[in-house]
Amino acid sequence: MRVSVDVIRRLEQGQRRTARFATLHAIAAALDTEVSISFAVRESGSLDSGHDQNGSSRGRDPGSSEMKRRELLRLVTSATAVIGLGGSAEPDLERLKASAPGRLGRADLADFAALNAGLWAAFVMAQNKAEVGPAVWVQARRLTDALRRPQSTAVRKRVCALHADVFQLAGEVLFDANRYADAGYCYTLAATAAREAGAIDLWACALTRHAYISVYEQRFGDAVPLLALSADLARNGDSELATRNWVSAVLAQALAGVGDHAACERSLEQADRVRVFPRPGNGGWLRFDGSRLAEDRASCYVQQRRPDLAEPILLELLKKHQSGRRRGIALADLTAVSAQRPDVLRLVTYGAAALDHARQTGSGVVLRKLQNLRPELARFKQDPHVRNLDTEIAHLVVSSH
């Protein structure tokens, strides 16, 4: 049964208090796909047998099988080729006229944009981010097909911008699944599409997301120049969007990682200026509104090995966030803080809680933080509880691939 795209718009705008799976059902219907297959969940909302008895999610990764990964890479390659062809400087008007069935009008573009927004809304709400992945791939294929057809220059640019939007979301899904290389392909394509569309802020955000991969892989030196390029782009973007402030927040983490504490603090101050914007983001590819500045600052303090400054911020965050990925990240950072103090009891307590969270949600982001912590745990290898924690992290890392 078809579901009106208006449903997606209302969901995205928060006008309907629906359950998470109802949101996915609506989007799946709008895309003519099946929830039972695409999202690997039951009608009742319970997780399927992709979750083993230990709580780890075997089915959470949209690229878990090599076949699915090849399909994804074919899609990225195809979209890259189509975008790379560019538009004709002088469109063949007769061909456009003859191909009217394939041409997109305002309503078509609005529907594509509404579905993109609905997918972002579903991604934000989903505890297991991979549930949104199949619908994202369907949307990406439809946009790629639209670019294969003759379009006017203006429509082509708009479709390229929509491509940049949806492939950033595809990258986010893969990033959360700990598939950093595949996420990087998506972010690169998104940057290319945004450049083709002349969408400066979209372009800057795609590059920033790509740099974030290096931050999470602790290759901070690689992230800094890419973020500097993002900042240059953002300065020429929409002054009413907080793109430059988000770039500064990510740059602060990279600078903390390379040990430039003064520059890190300046970047945090720049990020904090987001508070002057009445509507800093758009709820999709730019969601930075300052609400996560505390996490960003705490993450910088963890990188700087300043547990006395990081811990009170993180403890306050735990009081506010009782579920979701933000809680898992805070628990992982508190594990790092406990290792820096050092406090073995808290290390094991917070580490076990973060590990359980990673198992339950399938969040590769939380798991990567724990994986990065393993060298710190080696200092406490004489403690059997720490050794057990380290072993469990290692097992979950292996089972997630």
45 vs 396, more confident: 396
Mean pLDDT over 278-286 rounds to 83
What pLDDT does residue 53 have?
36
Is 207 in the same domain as 135?
A: no
Tokens 């709580």 found at:
55
52 pLDDT exceeds 70?
A: no
Is 154 in the same domain as 251?
A: no
Task: Evaluate whether 253 touches 300 at the Cβ level (below 8 Å).
Answer: yes
Is 206 in the same domain as 156?
A: no
Is 83 in the same domain as 144?
A: yes
Residue 396 lies in a domain: yes
Is 27 in the same domain as 114?
A: yes
Token pair of 110, please?
């609005």
Q: What is the distance between the alpha carbons of residues 250 and 215, in angstroms, rounded to a whole number?
A: 8
Which band of pLDDT confidence, cut at 50, 70 and 90, is reported for residue 73?
Answer: confident
Residue 77 lies in a domain: yes
Of 29-33, 124-128, 211-215, 370-374, the least confident:
29-33
Residue 55 lies in a domain: no
Angle of CA points 24, 74, 146, to nearest 5°: 65
Domain of residue 158, residue span? 1-47+65-88+98-198
Total number of domains constituting the chain: 3
Q: What is the pLDDT of residues 93-102, one digit of tens each?
A: 444 444 445 5
Q: What is the pLDDT of residues 312-338, one digit of tens each?
A: 999 999 988 766 788 999 999 999 999
22 vs 181, more confident: 181
Residue that is last in its domain, among 291, 326, 357:
291
Q: What is the pLDDT of residues 144-197, one digit of tens each?
A: 988 888 888 899 899 999 999 999 999 999 999 888 999 999 999 999 999 999
The Cα-based distances of 100 to 94, 143, 162, 163, 386 in angstroms read 10, 17, 21, 21, 65
What pLDDT does residue 104 have?
73
Mean pLDDT over 210-215 rounds to 96
Task: Evaluate whether 177 touches 60 at the Cβ level (below 8 Å).
Answer: yes
What pLDDT does residue 67 have?
58
Is 275 in the same domain as 217?
A: yes
The dihedrals phi and psi of 51, each to the nearest 5 degrees, come to: -100, 125
Helices (H) and strands (E) in the chain, counts: 19, 0
What CATH number is given to the structural domain containing 228?
A: 1.25.40
**pTM for the full model?**
0.78
Residue 342 lies in a domain: yes
Residue 169 lies in a domain: yes
Mean pLDDT over 81-98 rounds to 53
